[in-house]
Amino acid sequence: MTNIEHDTAATGAPTRSGFVALIGATNAGKSTLVNRLVGAKVSIVSHKVQTTRAIVRGIAIHDNAQIVFMDTPGIFKPRRRLDRAMVTTAWGGAKDADVITLLIDSERGLKGDAEAILEGLKEVHQPKILLLNKIDQVRPEDLLKLAAAANEVVKFERTFMISALSGSGCDDVMDYLAKALPEGPWYYPEDQISDLPMRQLAAEITREKLFLRLHQELPYASHVETERWEERKDGSVRIEQVIYVERDSQKKIALGKGGEAIKAISTAARKEISEILEQPVHLFLFVKVRENWGDDPERFREMGLEFPR
C-alpha cells in the first residue's frame, strides 16, 4: 500500500498512521463503535449476530494521526464453513494490526466467547487495549471487577470504559490511539472514510435493511451482491442487486406478501445509498435461490473472505 504524503507545517508535529484491529465476540458493538469513531457509517449494524462478515476499514483523522480501524467479524465457536472463514479473517486482521483493541460487552462480561478470545490474545504480540462497552448498563464496582479480571488474563496497555452508542469515553480512546500509532505519512487521502468499494458498501446497506426488516424470520444464510451499476446521463445511478437465499421458503419471506417486504427493504436501502452518494438512485432488487451458497467459493470471494477447505 502506498502512503500519502501529508503537510505537517500547520502544526509542526509529525504525522502518525496505522491500523487498529477491533475484535470481540458477536454483537459486542464493534460496528457501532467503528461508525462512532470514524464519524460516519462505514459498517452495517443489525440485531442479528455475525452481521459483519469481512474486514471493513473505517478511516479517521484525529490530531496528526490517521487511524485505520479494522472492524472484524465477531469471534465465536464456528459451526459452518462461513463461520470458520469469518473467525479466521478476524484473527488474521488482529495479527496484521499495529494496535489491537478488544471490545467486551460489560453486561455479558467474560462469559463464553469473550473468555475464549482473551485466551487467544495471549498468543498475539502487538500492543493491546481493552474497551469495556455499554458502561451505562453496569454498576461502577462491577466494571472495575470486570477490568481487573480481564487484565489478569492478558496484559493490556490501557483499559477504557466507553459507550459506543452515546460516545462516552470515545474521545479518550482516540487521544490514546493518535499517540500510540507509529510516525509516518498517511495511507489514504484526507477525505476518505473507508476502503470499501461503493458497489460493496451498497450491497452491505441492502443486507442491513434485509436483516432489520426480517431478522426474526429470515435465516442467517442470506447474502447480497451488486450485479450492475450504471451511471446515467441525468446524474442518477441505476443499481441492480441480487439477494441470495438457500431455499424457496426463504425467498417467499424475503419477498413478503404481495412483495411488501422487498419493497420496504428497497425503499430503505435506496434512501440511504442515495444520501451517501449524494445523487438520485434507482435500486432494483432480485431474490434468487442458490442452495448451499455458503459452500460456493465465488460467494466467499465476493464477501472478501478466504474459502476454507
Annotation: binding site: 24-31, 71-75, 133-136
Number of other CB atoms surrounding residue 56 within 10 Å: 27
Binding residues for GTP: 24-31, 71-75, 133-136
Number of other CB atoms surrounding residue 112 within 10 Å: 13
Residue 69: closest CA among 124, 12, 118, 24: 24
Number of other CB atoms surrounding residue 270 within 10 Å: 21
DSSP code of residue 262? H
List Cα–Cα distances, 149 to 75, 89, 96, in angstroms.
20, 27, 26
Instruction: Give the whole-angstrom CA distance, residue 134 versus residue 118.
Output: 19
Cell 451505562 belongs to residue: 136
Number of other CB atoms surrounding residue 71 within 10 Å: 27
Contacts for 121 with CB less than 8 Å, ≥ 6 apart: 94, 100, 102, 128, 153, 154
DSSP code of residue 183? B
